[in-house]
Structure 1
C-alpha cells in the first residue's frame, strides 16, 4: 500500500469513529472490532493488500505496543477516583497478584501438558497471556475522574497493575528456556524480578508523582508564573518514571500506573483547604481565619493532560489493531490456538478470579462480570515482542506469535460483542 492509500484508510476510519455512526452503536460494535475488520480485510487473509510480519518487525511492534500501554496506564491511573487504601483496593490487588499467578499457572499447565511446550516456554506463554488489557477494554474502564462504579474501578485498576505484575513470569519463562530450574535460579528470580522490581517501581511511582504535584503547586502559586503545559508535564512524568524504573530494574509499567495515581491524589490533597489559621485581632483575642482565605490555586496536571493523551491512546489502538489484522492468515486459526483461547476465557479467567477473591467480600455479580471481562490485547502483544527481541529461537517464536495473535483476536471479537449487552443486562450504568 502506498502512503496515499494509508492516509485515505486511516483518515476514513478516524472520521467514521468520530461520527459515532448510529448503525455501529445499534450493532454493539466496539472500535477495536471495526479496526480489526479493516486489518483483516486488507491483510493476507482476504485481499492481501499488505502484510505486517511480526517476526521481522519485532522491534517496531515492541516499541509501538510499549508506547500504547504506557499511555493507557497513565490515563487509567489519573482517572482512579480513590487513593491507596486497603479497604478499597483489596479486590483489584488480589486480582492483579493472586489471580494473576493462578492464571499463569493454569495457562502454563495447558501449554506444557496439552500443547507440548517446554516448561520455560509454557510459563512464558502464561505470562504473555495473563495480563488484562488497559488499551482495548475502554468499554469497561473508568470513564472519567469522578467515576466510582465498582466494576469499572476494579477492572481498570487490575489492568493497570497486572501489566506490571506479569513481567516476573515472563522473565521466569525466559530464564528457564536457557537454564535448568534450580534453587539458585528461583531464589534470584524471587529477590530481583519479584521483590526488588515490584517494590522499586511502586516507590519510584509514588515519589515522582508526589514531587511533580508539589512542584506544579509551587509554580502556580507564583504570581509571575504563566500557564503551564499540562500535556508536556504529564508526558514528561510518564517518561521520567518509566526511564528511572528501567535504569534500576523496576517494572516500568507498574511504576507509570502508580505515578499517575500518586500525581492525581497528591493534587487533590494539596488543593484541599488548609485548616483555619488562628490569628490575633487588634484587641488580642484569637480568631479563625476564614477557610476561603486559605485556598490555594488548584493543580490539575492530571486532568489537563488527559485532553492530549486520550486521543493518542485511541490513535494507538487504531494503528495496532489494524496491524494485528494484517498479521493473520486464514490458516492462523489452528485448533491449538483456538482451544487455548477458549480455555483461557471460559476456565482460566473465571477460576482465577473466583479463587483470588475468596474471602474478599466482593459480590457474586461483580465476580461473575470480572471473571468474564478479562480482555487480552496490546499488553500481550508487547510481552510477546519483548520475548522475541530478547532472543527466542525462531521456531518457538513463530509458535508463540501464532497462539498469541489468535487469542488476542478472539478476545477482541468475543469480549467486544458481549460487553455492551452484558453491562446493560447485569450491571447498572
Structure 2
C-alpha cells in the first residue's frame, strides 16, 4: 500500500507531533531523537513511493533541503556560542579545523585508494565525510546563548564548545577539499587556480561578508539612532531566518562560501550586544525551525534506505564508514589535541564525537553529477556512515555527557 498526496499531509502531521514528543520521552534514555526519526523513516518507507524520494532520483531536492537545514543550523550554533572568537580562546577549535580535518581526509583518502578506489573517488568520499555536523550533534553542543547579567561569565565546558565551534566552521572549510576531488576527476582546473580561488578567495569572501553583515545587523538590532528602527525592540525572531537567507544568498551571489558567512555573521551579531535577551529569542526560533528540517531529512533518509539506498554498499564502503567513525576521526583528533588544556577524558570525548550527517548529504548531492559511474556506491557509503554515526554517537552521547557534567559539578 502507498500513501497518496493527501495522505502525506497526515504523515507529515504525525511526524511533527512525534518530533515534539520524542525528545521529552527519550531524555532519560541513551537513545537520541535522530535515531528514533531514522527508524520512523524506515517504517514510513514501507507505505510511500520510495523511488520518488531517493536522493539519486531527486538530487536537486536533496541538495536544497540539506542546504537549508545546514545554514539554519549554522545560524543556530553561531548564536549559541558565548565565547568571543580569538586565537587563544579558540585554540582547540583551530587544531580540529586545520590539523585534524585535513589529516583525516588524507588518511581516509589513503584507505580508499588502498581498497581499490580511483584517486578522485577516494578523495571525494573522504572530503564529503570530512565535516562534522551542526545538525545532528545537538546533544554534544552548547545549549544556547547566555544573556542577562550572566552573559559575561564563560560557562561553556571545553568539550561542548570545541564540538560546536568546529561544526560551525568545518562545514564551509571542507568545500575546497570537495572541489579538489571534482577537479581531479574532471581535470578542469590547475592546482594554482584551486589554491588561489577555491581555498583563499572564496573563503575570504565568506568571512568578509559574514563580518560585514553581522556588524551591520548588530547595529540595526541594538544601536540604531532611532528606537523605532532597532530590530531587537520589534521582538520578531523571524529576523533570524531573514538574516540567514540574506547573508547566505549574498555570499553565494558574490561566489564566496555561504556556510562560512552565515556562521561568522551569527558570531558578529552575538558580539554586538551579548547580554540582550533578543539573542535567546532568535536562537529559540532558529532551533525550532532546525528541528523541523532535521526531522524531514532523517525521515527521507530512512525512506531511501528502505527503498534500497544501501544495496550498492560494498565491503570497501563499509570499511571506510567504520574506520572513519571508530578509528580515523577519534585517533587523529586526539593526537591533534595534544598539549591543550583538555584533560585526558575531555580530549577523548572531543575526539570521539565527530558526528557525520546532513552536511555530507548536501555535498554529495551538490557534486555527485561529476561521479555518475560511482554515484550509487557513493550514496550507499555516505548513507551507511551517517546511519552508523547517528546510532553510535546517539547512544553514547547521553551517558558520556552526563558523566562529563557530573565531573564538572
Structure 1 residue 216, shift from structure 2 partner: 2.4
- Summarize the alignment of residues 245-394 of structure 1 with structure 2, pairs less than 5 Å apart: 245-268=251-274, 301-328=278-305, 329=308, 331=311, 334-388=314-368, 391-394=369-372
How many residue pairs end up in the alignment? 391
Give the CA RMSD over aligned residues: 2.2
Structure 1 residue 224, shift from structure 2 partner: 8.2
Deviations 1:218-272 (A, max 9, x none): 447526879425334322222222122212322110111010000011123xx7x
Distance in 1, matches of 2:301 and 2:318, equals 16
Classify 1:119/1:424 alpha carbon distance in 2 versus 1 (closer, same or farther; 3 Å). same
Classify 1:13/1:192 alpha carbon distance in 2 versus 1 (closer, same or farther; 3 Å). same
Counterpart secondary structure, 1:331: coil
Deviations 1:175-221 (A, max 9, x none): 000118xxx82222111111122222112111110111112234475
Task: State whether residues 158 and 342 of structure 2, in contact with CA within 8 Å, keep that contact through their aligned partners in structure 1.
Answer: no
Distance in 2, matches of 1:212 and 1:91, equals 29
Classify 1:50/1:223 alpha carbon distance in 2 versus 1 (closer, same or farther; 3 Å). closer
Deviations 1:93-121 (A, max 9, x none): 2112221101111111111111x222112
- Unmatched 5+ stretches in structure 1: 272-297
- Summarize the alignment of residues 75-90 of structure 1 with structure 2, pairs less than 5 Å apart: 75-90=76-91
- Summarize the alignment of residues 207-246 of structure 1 with structure 2, pairs less than 5 Å apart: 207-219=212-224, 221-222=226-227, 227-228=233-234, 230-246=236-252
User: Does residue 1:425 correspond to 2:403, yes or no?
Assistant: yes
Task: State whether residues 220 and 229 of structure 2, in contact with CA within 8 Å, keep that contact through their aligned partners in structure 1.
Answer: no
Structure 1 residue 2, shift from structure 2 partner: 2.0
Distance in 1, matches of 2:101 and 2:293, equals 26
Distance in 2, matches of 1:302 and 1:317, equals 22
Classify 1:376/1:90 alpha carbon distance in 2 versus 1 (closer, same or farther; 3 Å). same
Distance in 1, matches of 2:294 and 2:247, equals 23
User: Does residue 1:200 correspond to 2:205, yes or no?
Assistant: yes
Higher RCO (CA < 8 A, seq sep 6+) = 2
Classify 1:342/1:306 alpha carbon distance in 2 versus 1 (closer, same or farther; 3 Å). same
Deviations 1:103-150 (A, max 9, x none): 111111111111x22211211111100100000111111111125122
Distance in 2, matches of 1:28 and 1:354, equals 24
Deviations 1:324-358 (A, max 9, x none): 01111263554333221110012210122123223
TM-score, with structure 1 as normaliser: 0.85
Task: State whether residues 207 and 259 of structure 1, in contact with CA within 8 Å, keep that contact through their aligned partners in structure 2.
Answer: yes
Counterpart secondary structure, 1:360: coil
Classify 1:223/1:332 alpha carbon distance in 2 versus 1 (closer, same or farther; 3 Å). closer
TM-score, with structure 2 as normaliser: 0.89
Classify 1:304/1:127 alpha carbon distance in 2 versus 1 (closer, same or farther; 3 Å). same
